Amino acid sequence: MFDYLVTSRARRQLLRRLWADGASGSVSALARTAGVSFAAAHRELQAMKAAGLAVAERDGVATVYRANLAHAQAELLTALMAATRSAHADSSADSNERRLRGELAALGAPLAGPVSRDRRPPPEHVLAAGLVLAHRRPTVARVLPVAFWRQRSRLDYERLERAATRRNERQALGFYLELTGQLGGDRRLVRRAGGLRDHRRTALQPFFSGGRGVFAMELARKRSPALARRWGFLMNMELESFASAFRKHVPAAA
């Protein structure tokens, strides 16, 4: 019923994030976790704010959106959202993640997942989707450079950039290209990364979607590699964690 009443996919996804999952975050963070474009997320969040369904608060230089639980119809909307969270939806999400892990494994990432014998999506699309998953799964984040390295001579980098941009992952793509280039000693990847940086982006954002608690943020500030900071990210994962995984699975780099 919810899908019938709310025809916009972006609106459905953002309503679920704010009202069903209790999430909060900047436009960029919510767009990434909802799987929608930055423009669609900005438009819908502004509309929710105007309708009183969301509130926006300043957190340093960032604007953070959350559900307005003081809304007169908050109880009704919460009940509707709860009713939409079926076991089927959860199973579908798990299935999609397993499939993506298998597709990343087929590109050389040391991940467990079913490798489909059917026609596989282009590697550029798989890697861009992997960037999205990396924000939720540190294990994926740690080994993505291995997949980028093994596919580096086969990639259409213009297609890869478009795929990442559609997913609001342009900065993450730049970070991973530069990181992979540094780990493998390929300056071409480092140069490709340079054109992706948004110099207007000055505020540091948590890379991992679950890393916004006080303790998690403190660890991220202490452990974030300088490279991640240059790309606008705080992450509770040191450079050596990436390097050790890379050395293990790319023997020539050892």
Tokens 């438009």 locate to 43
- Domains of the chain plus CATH, in order, are 2-84 (1.10.10.10), 90-253 (no CATH)
Report pTM.
0.66
Strand partners, 205: 233
The Cα diameter of the chain in Å comes to 62
Between CA 62 and CA 186 the distance in angstroms is 35
C-alpha radius of gyration, the chain, whole number: 19
Give the phi and the psi of residue 206 in degrees, each rounded to 5: -60, 135
From first to last of its 254 residues, the chain has per-residue pLDDT tens of 666 678 888 998 999 888 887 788 899 989 988 888 999 999 999 999 999 999 999 877 789 999 998 888 888 888 787 777 654 455 556 778 888 999 999 999 998 766 666 677 999 999 999 999 999 889 999 999 999 999 999 999 999 999 999 998 999 999 999 999 999 999 999 999 998 988 777 788 889 886 556 677 787 888 899 999 999 999 988 999 999 999 999 976 54
39: three-class secondary structure by DSSP: helix
